[in-house]
Amino acid sequence: MTTTGVQEAGETAERRVRVVLVDDHRMFRTGVQAEIGRTDETGVEVVGEAADVDQAVAVIHAARPEVVLLDVHLPGGGGVEVLRRCAALTAAPEDPVRFLALSVSDAAEDVIGVIRGGARGYVTKTITGADLIASIFRVQEGDAVFSPRLAGFVLDAFASTDAPPVDEDLDRLTQREREVLRLIARGYAYKEIAKQLFISVKTVESHVSAVLRKLQLSNRHELTRWATARRLV
């Protein structure tokens, strides 16, 4: 993974992404490292590792990776705390650090927590290596990565406000965004969604990003209410 000479290896190797791994289980870090860290084949270069919040913040600031694979449950305050203390990097206008949450838990409170903290996606640890690599690249490009489960949570969050979306009301998901989410929840890949809805993959990705944006910013009130109703907060 340290050899970097072979640039002409293939199309994936042309794109490079620098990744920091944050997880308190050394075994898991080693596993992920083995799965995605073969830089020549995957294009992923693991430039740092951390096992708790303080380490993570230090490593991320020092290495300035493009993507951080972030565990949700960490000693020292959890993934949300890392996101909070790296907020400046996430919001940086140039080369922002993107966070992809990678957790064994897919409980609603964990998922919603880190997404609202600013993570660009959420995948569970059962994900395959290839899918994880694809997700990392997608996040690096600024797109959101939704697992079917996460799409389900979001739909659920907005299900109570099922009134027809009003254009000026940015808080609601548009019909199209809902459709996209529904297909994600049904296990469709972005490519398949594009085919089904007769739109481009880029459009699908921008819909998903829009959902994430609304989830983080505009819909605080609604989500809080939702979370409170379910005793998540």
Partner 1 sequence: MPVAVRVPETTDDPPVRKLYRSADGRMLGGVARGLAGHLGLPVVWVRLAFLGLFLAHGPLGVLLYAAFWIAVPLGVGGRSSEPRTLFETTADGRRRLRKPDRGQAVALIALLVGAAVFAGTVDLGGDANRYVWPTLLVGVGVVLVWRQADNARRARWTEPGSRKRLFQLARGLAGVALVGLGVTVFLVVRGSAAQLGTALTAAMAVLAGMALLAGPWLIRMSQDLSEERTMRIRAQERAEVAAHVHDSVLHTLTLIQRSADDAAEVRRLARAQERELRNWLYRPEGTGKDEADEPETVADAVRRAAAEVEDKHGVPLEVVVVGDCPLDERLAAQMQAAREAMVNAAKYGGGGGAVQVYAEVEGRTVFVSVRDRGPGFDLDAVPEDRMGVRESIIGRMRRNGGSARVRTAPGEGTEVELEMDRAEETDG
What is the binding site for partner 1 (CB under 8 A)? Answer: 105, 107, 148-149, 151-152, 155-156, 159, 162, 182, 185-188, 231
Q: Which is nearer to partner 1, 44 or 111 (CB)?
A: 111
Q: Which is nearer to partner 1, 171 or 192 (CB)?
A: 192
What are the Cα distances from residue 177, in Å, to 112, 141, 153, 183, 208? 18, 20, 14, 10, 7
Contact 21, 45 (CB under 8 A): no
Q: Which is nearer to partner 1, 96 or 129 (CB)?
A: 129
Tokens representing 214?
Answer: 């609304």
Residue found by looking up tokens 């979370």 in the block: 227
The span from the CA of 222 to the CA of 218, in Å, is 9
Q: Which is nearer to partner 1, 75 or 187 (CB)?
A: 187
Distance in Å, CB of 102 to partner 1, minimum: 16
Distance in Å, CB of 156 to partner 1, minimum: 5
Side-chain-facing half-sphere of 35: CA atoms under 13 Å: 18
Q: Which is nearer to partner 1, 67 or 158 (CB)?
A: 158
Contact 9, 40 (CB under 8 A): yes
Distance in Å, CB of 178 to partner 1, minimum: 10
68: closest CA among 43, 40, 49, 87?
49
Distance in Å, CB of 20 to partner 1, minimum: 27
Distance in Å, CB of 109 to partner 1, minimum: 9
The span from the CA of 192 to the CA of 16, in Å, is 26
